[in-house]
Amino acid sequence: MQMPSIGLGTFRLEGAPLIGSLETGLELGYRHIDTAQIYGNEAEVGQVLSQSALPRSDLFLTTKVWTSEFGPGKVIPSLELSLEKLKTDYLDLALIHWPSPSDEVAMAVYLEQLAEARERGLTREIGVSNFTSAQIKQAVSILGAGAITHQQIEVHPLLQNRIVRDVCRELGIAVTAYMPLAYGKVLDEPVLKEIAARHGASPAQVSLAWLHAQGMTVIPSSTKREHQAANLAALDLRLSAEEMAAIAPLDRGERCANPDFAPAWD
């Protein structure tokens, strides 16, 4: 199954809010679910998906391997545990969540295990997340061209991450934009408000449409039905070349996800 261009993000969602978000999202037509080992919600995601009437083949399911599971012999058992929690026998996409902090574990060690997981059928595709342009080039040199199909990075009008995106495009690696609304900061941008008013839309929808127009998948998270529906509708919003150009200068490197173990960003 090809990755749908919009998915349900589950970061910081657990319990009833998570379950409600997933149930509503599936009802509205979402078929792409993004989770991670560190989120602590894989079991709840699995509970909802196993109770859904939708066949597994209609869903695109992504999880991410946490940095504690990078050592020799650890990646595959961690993914097997994720599959058990998610109540499925395969993932559509398994990602390395962050590069190993300070290169404590050599990249080849965990990437080669991830490639083996794909060979064993634990996941159909593999990729990375939060890799710099140099790191993504290194990853491709380790596994070879075409092995890594996806990179998940923070992208929104306030952080456009052009250098990394350009490298991914050159290498044929699809980009998924997480935090596409910058924790709601895009809602206050005058340029986005002006464009939104022109289309009878919201600034959030403009941000999502801007990302979609550049070929990126988006994974916003929301617990409100109306917001989920609006996010879906954003994919039908068509921005003019002038509007796309007006958004470009909003890039000010405003990064929302920047933990102390993050790599040296481009």
Which of 71, 49, 51, 69 has the alpha carbon at shortest distance from 60?
A: 49
| Packing angle, helices 162-170 and 133-143, rounded to 10 | 20
Q: What is the pLDDT of residue 1?
A: 85
Residue showing tokens 């998610």: 86
Q: Which residues contact 69 (CB under 8 A, 6 or more apart)?
A: 37, 75, 77, 78, 110
Query: Which sequence spans correspond to the domains of the chain?
Result: 8-182
227 known member of a binding site = no
Q: What confidence tens digit (pLDDT) does each residue in 63-117 have? A: 999 999 999 999 999 999 999 999 999 999 999 999 999 999 999 999 999 999 9
Per-residue pLDDT of the chain (266 residues; tens, 9 = 90+): 899 999 999 999 999 999 999 999 999 999 999 999 999 999 999 999 999 999 999 999 999 999 999 999 999 999 999 999 999 999 999 999 999 999 999 999 999 999 999 999 999 999 999 999 999 999 999 999 999 999 999 999 999 999 999 999 999 999 999 999 999 999 999 999 999 999 999 999 999 999 999 999 999 999 999 999 999 999 999 999 999 999 999 999 999 999 999 999 99
Q: Which residues contact 12 (CB under 8 A, 6 or more apart)?
A: 39, 221
DSSP state of 73: T
The dotted CATH code for 8-182 is 3.20.20.100
The Cα–Cα gap between 184 and 37 comes to 25
Q: What confidence tens digit (pLDDT) does each residue in 111-129 have? A: 999 999 999 999 999 999 9
The Cα–Cα gap between 37 and 59 comes to 19
Residue showing tokens 């290194």: 138
11, 221 Cβ separation under 8 angstroms: yes
Which H helix or E strand runs over 126? strand 123-129
Question: Cβ of 23: how many Cβ atoms within 10 Å?
Answer: 13
Q: What is the pLDDT of residue 129?
A: 98
107, 135 Cβ separation under 8 angstroms: yes
> Is 39 a catalytic site residue?
yes
Q: What is the pLDDT of residue 68?
A: 98
Annotated catalytic residue, options 39, 90, 178, 183: 39
Question: Cβ of 14: how many Cβ atoms within 10 Å?
Answer: 13
